[in-house]
Amino acid sequence: MPAIVFNNISKKYEIGLRLGSIRDNIPMMLRKLIGRNPKREYIWALKDASFDVDRGGALGIIGPNGAGKTTILKLLSRITKPTSGTIKTEGRVSALIELGAGFHPDLTGRENIYLNGAILGLKKREIDERFDKIVAFSELEKFIDTPVKYYSSGMHVRLGFSVAAHINPDILLIDEVLAVGDMSFKRKSLKKMTELRNNDTTVVFVSHDLRSIEIMCKEALFIANGRIISKGDVRDVVTAYQMYDMERINVMREKSDTSDIPDEVFITDIHFLDINGNERDTLYSGEKTTVRIDYYAPKRIEKPIFAMKVERADGLICFLVRTRHSGIAMEDLEGEGHIDAEFENFNLNAGSYNMHVFVNDSKDILLYGSRNKSFRVINKDVDFGINSGIYFPGIKWRQFRK
């Protein structure tokens, strides 16, 4: 049973529709009177978009600015109505669409928690029950009786997220806001969202941070210019988005418009090379293997950190290695190139795996880019299968007699 059905939705906004005062509209009214209707201009914030999310599912929404991501959240939370199409949502929807929405600057954190809870549909008694948890999660115990106008933007997010996440919503909608918080709170929120999702809350999560999306969601949606470009498995969608983003940046470079080029490293491809340097899709347990990571950095990136994570098909993490831990200082990246990671013995047992390669900044905080690649490993002698573990020790057995 889907918790969200978003059926063939279009949403149109009128451009320049700013009905400020009657005086501004007198010319328009006059023109209407003499029968000449002024030409109206519309933009389609969303066009024929359909998707659904199962109960307890998590959907990530990615796309460039102005693509219609927030419009989807606003439609789901009933803030605005679709021009055409139908939306069904099941149960209580809690949305954190913008920072400090619903907070009154003159009221204290405590008063705002009650007000916000009521806006989200809670009774006073229900807020009483949750109050301590909300405060504890937000880590704002000391400031809870301070008017929120003295809060920093990070404190706003903490309070806003805490309230939204603790009202036990059936559907939780989270916009970009978490980007404002500090790293530790961001991690904590992601954990909380995962916890909610595991307790059957349906989560829709908009973010520019592809890594968070990949952690949180199995399914994703990539939209651009109000249209769904790609939807389905989160890895495919993220890849589709990265390709799109790279093309967009190339177009900008051709126009030599460098101001807007973001700090990004595109992993353009991942290759597996055998001992002879031939490319393969299937690897052999225990053989010498080189993983070649092609990258493209449109802008100079200082001393990045490359990381490589391999998971078995069932999600078990086999290993995660980083250039930093290996004591290798990477040089600055610019333009195209590749990084080789040489495995003397590729000690994975037979099975299906996924490799996730990502590039972080020198402090390991920001993500510059990432890419996934699936591959298979077989054992030359016998196919041991999944029950035989992941590690291929490459042992030589010997037998001795007394």
Partner 1 sequence: MSFFRNVRELIRYRELVFMWSARSVKVRYKQTLLGILWAIFRPFATMVVFTVIFSKFFQVPSEGIPYPIFSYSALVPWMFFATSITTGVPSLVYNIGIVTKIYFPREVIPLSSIGAAFVDFVIAFIILIGMMIFYHVAITLWIFLLPVLIVIQVMLAMGISLFASAANVFYRDVRFIFEVGVQLWMYLSPVIYSVETVPQKFIWLYMANPMAPIIDSYRRILIAGQPPQWKFLIMAASISLVIFLGGYSYFKKMEEKFADII
d(CA 256, CA 309): 35
- The binding track of 92-131 with respect to partner 1, each residue x by CB under 8 A or -, is -x-x-xx-xxx-x-xx---x--xx--xxxx-xx-------
Nearest CA among 1, 63, 3 for reference residue 204: 3
Task: Kindly list the distances between the CA atom of residue 195 and the CA atoms of 67, 156, 183, 216, 364, in Å, as whole numbers in the listed order.
Answer: 29, 22, 18, 10, 25
- In angstroms and rounded to an integer, the radius of gyration of the C-alpha atoms of the chain is 26
* Contacts of residue 305, Cβ cutoff 8 Å, sequence gap at least 6: 322, 323, 324, 330, 359, 360, 361, 362, 364
Residue 281: CB minimum distance to partner 1, A: 48
Nearest CA among 83, 58, 336, 398 for reference residue 226: 83
7, 25, 352, 374: which one contacts partner 1 (CB under 8 A)?
25
Q: Is 20 in the site for partner 1 (CB under 8 A)?
A: yes
Give CA torsion, residues 22, 23, 28, 33, to 10 deg. Answer: 80
| Cβ contact 164:96 at 8 Å | yes
Instruction: Between 67 and 177, name the residue whose CB sits nearer to partner 1.
Output: 177
Instruction: Between 95 and 223, name the residue whose CB sits nearer to partner 1.
Output: 95
Residue 124: CB minimum distance to partner 1, A: 6
Q: Is 144 in the site for partner 1 (CB under 8 A)?
A: no
Residue 102: CB minimum distance to partner 1, A: 5
Q: Is 13 in the site for partner 1 (CB under 8 A)?
A: yes
d(CA 275, CA 290): 8
81, 363, 396, 398: which one contacts partner 1 (CB under 8 A)?
81
Instruction: Between 18 and 255, name the residue whose CB sits nearer to partner 1.
Output: 18
- Return the bridge partners of 4, or none: 53, 89
Q: Residue 161 corresponds to which tokens in the numbers above?
A: 């997220």
Please state the length of the chain: 402
Q: Residue 361 corresponds to which tokens in the numbers above?
A: 């900044």
Instruction: Between 170 and 334, name the residue whose CB sits nearer to partner 1.
Output: 170
Instruction: Between 32 and 253, name the residue whose CB sits nearer to partner 1.
Output: 32
Q: Is 79 in the site for partner 1 (CB under 8 A)?
A: yes
Q: Is 78 in the site for partner 1 (CB under 8 A)?
A: yes
Residue 97: CB minimum distance to partner 1, A: 5
* Contact residues for partner 1, defined by CB under 8 A: 13-14, 17-23, 25, 74, 77-81, 93, 95, 97-98, 100-102, 104, 106-107, 111, 114-115, 118-121, 123-124
